[in-house]
Structures are given as structure tokens and as C-alpha cells.
Amino acid sequence: MKIIKMTELDINNKTLLIRSDLNVPIKDGIIQSKARILAALPTIEMAIEKNAKIIILSHLGRPKEGIYEKKYSLFPVFEYLKKKLNYTKVYFSRNYLHGIKLNPKEVVILENVRFNIGELNNDNTLSKKYSDLCDIFVMDAFGSAHRMQSSTHGIGKFAKIACAGPLLINEINFLKKSLEKPKRPMVAVIGGAKVSTKFDVLQKLCKIADTVIVGGGIANTFLAIDNKIGKSLYEPNFILEAKKLRDKYNIIIPIDSRVGKNFCKSEKSIIKLPHDINKDEEIMDFGDKTIKKIIDILKKSQTIIWNGPVGVFEFPNFCKGTEAIAKTIANSDAFSIAGGGDTLSVIDMFNIKNSISYISTGGGAFLEFIEGKNLPAISILKENYKQYKSSNLKNIIK
């Protein structure tokens, strides 16, 4: 893949605009998971070490464009980064579209890009304003690489130089390793609420994995092929498609489930077989027989791709399935890749970060890359490379 890499460039005294993925869960001003921030940190530290002037750009949540809402502010992220980068000056800026002045080794965190009108629509005027802030645009947010927006794609059309950051390069390389020549058996664990949002990736993984394990609302849709599953979350319109996949590929569907009558943390769990679930009950986790079966499969695997919890892991009585999968993957000798926002939260919850081979910061991008789709942010980096593929490229690479 021909793109310019940040590590190839002489960035001394240059102004870098780094598009990071700092979209982390924040509750009452407190960051709940720092995984994405910590993943972005090495690129920032590298830029500081190379004497660059650093501008950090990111989104957070889904605010309404043009309207400031405190709960979507990146200020808590700034406060955390300021502590982590205590050896340098770190600023926060809410009004930045008309220019920013920095000295070498200084860092500024910009307010949520989704407060800017035009961000989601990839507006050219906004994209140009972003590009005017810097000498070099560094795309380092794999988690946002599938979005065609001003801070991920549009800026790359106007930036003098658009390159890939180290985190983005690592994400691509590790995902390629797991998909192109995986050690076998290869097992994919796909959880989440809706099969419709992950149907394409399910099809892809069914073709390349030896076994696909489904959980959450996705598994419920497969269970609904032959069973009445009470008030469980599932998608009736996808039952026929789910049946076609089940009949053609090796998909592991729950043989028993933990159910409850009320969706709340204090609800007690009861283990039931699919055909025994009452109208007033809903599936919220795997049962013990299913957990044992899946553990046996995972222990024999050589490559594992994991995206999404398999139950309501936030509730103490319905987290056993997700916990068992997480700890089995962590204790496995298999090459493992985990990705997705909820997956990152699970990894934090069970403190297994150092036991996963590679943790992807991406959710939607993670899945679209697996599907084989072209990610807009990467496509624009390829276009930028073409502009410099002749003698110009020699002038910008150190």
C-alpha cells in the first residue's frame, strides 16, 4: 500500500495536525476507558521528540453540529493528556479555525470537531480551514478511517502533505496479518446487538474462519430461526439470511442462555434452553453449556478475531459469557486481535490488555476493513501519495 508515513518525514519545526481517535466513554466528566488515548499517545510523544509543533484533532460522541454540549467536550481528555505529557506545554482550544501559534514541542488539543458545522458532510470550506492550520496532516485514527468527514477525509484533499501515523500503520499491518495468512484453526467471535449492522462482516468471516461464534442480539436472531425467544432482542427481517449462513457455514449458536424478566443490574439470571424461554423473558447472556463449548473451541484455536461482547456484560448476573471468552482469549497462545468500543471496555473491565496480541482502536473501521471495503481516510492518503510519487516525494522524505 503506497502512502506517505509520518516516520519517513522530517518533521523538525513543522506544524503537525494529528487526527487521533480520542472518542472515549466519559461519565460525569470522568473517563471510563483510556484505551484509545493510550494508543494515540506514542505518536504524540514521537512528534514531540522530533521537535514538531503538534495539533490534536478528534471527535467525541454524536453532538448536534453547531451546538456546544459540555458532555461532548474533549476537555476531560485534555486534562488527562496534560498529566501524561507533564514534561511539555499542553493547551486546549475551542476557537481554532482561524489559526494557532505554537512553539516546537508544544501540544494543543482542539475541541470536538463535531461541534463544527460541516464536519459530518465533509464540507470543503471546513476541510480547507483544517488544512490551513498545519504543514503536515497525520491521519492516525484508524477508528475513524471509515468515515468520509472533514477531519478524516476532506482535509487530505487540501493538505500539502497527508501521511499515515504509526498507530494507523500498525492497525493495518496487524489486521492484514490476521486475515491474509492466518494460523489455523481460525475462530471469529462476533457479538453485538444487531445482525443487520454486522451481516456483511459475518459473511466475510464465515468464508475465511474455520468457526464463527455469535453472541448478543446477533445470536438471538439465529436462535429465532427455530425458537420463540420471548422478548429477546433480535431482528425478524434477518432470520432468513441468518438461516442461509447457519446452514452453509460452521456457526456456533448458543445451546442455552441466561435470561431475565427485567433489563436491570439487579435482575437475577436463570439458565434456560432456547425452546423453554417464556414470553416475558429475554436472553441476556450465554448459559453454562454454551460457555463450556466455546471455551473448548477457543483453546484449540491459533488465530482469534474478537469483536463485541456476547451478553449484557455491564450487569453482574449477565457477564459470565463475556468474561469467560475474554479470559480464555487472554490465556490462549493464539494470535488474537480484538476491536470495537464495547470490546475495549470489556478488556479494561477484566484487565487483560497485555494478554491480547493486538487491540484495534476501531469499531466500524475494524469491521469494514475485514469486509474488504476501501476506507475513505486511507484512500485519500493514497491519492496524496500520488501527488508526490515523482521527484517531489524525494524532497519531503528525510
Active site residue ranges: 36, 194, 341, 364
Binding residues for ATP, by number, are 198, 314, 340-343
HEC string for the chain: CCCCEHHHECCCCCEEEEECCCCCCEECCEECCCHHHHHHHHHHHHHHHCCCEEEEECCCCCCCCCCCCHHHCCHHHHHHHHHHCCCCCEEEECCCCCCCCCCCCCEEEECCHHHCCCCCCCCHHHHHHHHCCCCEEEECCHHHCCCCCHHHHHHHHHCCEEEECHHHHHHHHHHHHHHHCCCCCEEEEECCCCCCCCHHHHHHHHHHCCEEEECHHHHHHHHCCCCCCCCCCCCHHHHHHHHHHHHHCCEECCCCEEEECCCCCCCCCEEECHHHCCCCCEEEEECHHHHHHHHHHHHCCCEEEEECCCCCCCCHHHCHHHHHHHHHHHHCCCEEEEECHHHHHHHHHCCCHHHCCEEECCCHHHHHHHHCCCCHHHHHHHHHHHHCCCHHHHHHEC
Binding residues for (2R)-3-phosphoglycerate, by number, are 36, 114, 147
